[in-house]
Homo-oligomer: A and B are copies of this chain.
Amino acid sequence: MLLALDAMGGDHAPASVIEGASIARERHPDLKFLLVGNREQVEPLLSSRKNLGGNAEILHTETFIAGDAKPSLALRQGGGTSMRLAIEAVASGRAEGVVSAGNTGALMVLSKFVLRTLPGVDRPAIASLYPTLRGESAMLDMGANVECDARNLFQFGVMGSAYVTALLGIPRPRVGLLNIGSEDLKGHDALRAAAAHFREIGEALPLEFHGFIEGNDITGGTVDVVVTDGFSGNIAIKMGEGTIKMFSEYLKSAYRSSLLAKLGYLLSAPALSTLKKKLDPRHYNGGVLLGLNGVVVKSHGGADGLSFANAVSVAYDLIGFKLNEKISAELKLPALSPSIASD
């Protein structure tokens, strides 16, 4: 299996990318890499990683997309950049997937333009795993689509459910639509139409439709897949990150508030470091751009080597699972077309 890596994307690129490739190759001995980036910078890093010798090829380019570049500009001026060339390697069939820690908006726009959407998918979405009281769940869309109609939400549910089957091994994931109340009358029309469609044909699909859920159900782990528009999804996930940060800071200052508390911290420290790891967003690294003709994984911009390796593992698992073939097949079910009209 060959993966294209955007060697120049992310705050610590290219070092974190090469380190991540090396760690991932230890986990998956059948992995090979196409490292797209500046040869002068990549080559010395590569030569210090013995397990990549013979398994990583460099595709040289001197340009890359800045972390703060506007997606529209990336589309017009992104030709020949490391991100674009890495995506093109998937389009040409040279690579089976691409991983980048670069600009999310640019990655989405370029991937959509170069790879196009899967048959049956109107719009791609960004999905990611996150921690819950019961373990892990997935949420989508995380920010690619500000407004979504019922068809989009339905397709997100199908894609998200294939995604958690691939990554978490849940054969029939529970899917919930994020709303502001669990009653049938709450929320937007699009939510009600999507819910009706899931109820109508959900049984024909490898998922279990749970109905509407509320914001506190996200971390409650009420469902395996939370489906929402990119506006609410982005706000919810960032509110979760911000709340964990606030709680951690409050906790730190509580521990600093007295000598006894400090001593207590020292005794509890090993247990607390496990907790910290569990809630660390880097552990959940590897947002996936679902619904494209090719596997595209977005690593966190601040990813270190280990974190980038986690994103590579996500790409590896999704390709092995033949995620896109499964999504296409499910969205081709004949029952789907009549009841949710195209916009």
Contacts and interface: CB of A to CB of B under 8 A. Distances in A.
Interface of A: 70, 131-133, 143, 146-147, 178, 180, 183, 185, 187-188, 214-220, 228, 230-232, 234-247, 249-251, 254-255, 257-258, 260-261, 263-272, 274-275, 278-279
A275 B254 CA distance: 7
Count of chain copies: 2
Contact of A218 (B220, B239, B244): B239
Contacts of A215: 234-242
Contacts of A133: 245-246, 249
Nearest to A257: B271
Nearest to A221: B246
Contacts of A279: 247, 250
A279 B249 CA distance: 12
B146 A180 contact: yes
Nearest to A222: B242
Contact of A187 (B231, B239, B247): B231
B242 A220 contact: yes
Contacts of A247: 243-244, 247, 279
A219 B246 contact: yes
A185 B274 CA distance: 40
Given A243-B243, A251-B251, A261-B267, 20 more contacts: A131-B246, A147-B188, A178-B235, A180-B231, A188-B231, A214-B235, A215-B237, A215-B238, A215-B239, A216-B241, A217-B242, A219-B239, A220-B245, A231-B232, A236-B239, A239-B243, A240-B243, A247-B247, A264-B269, A264-B271
A239 B243 CA distance: 9
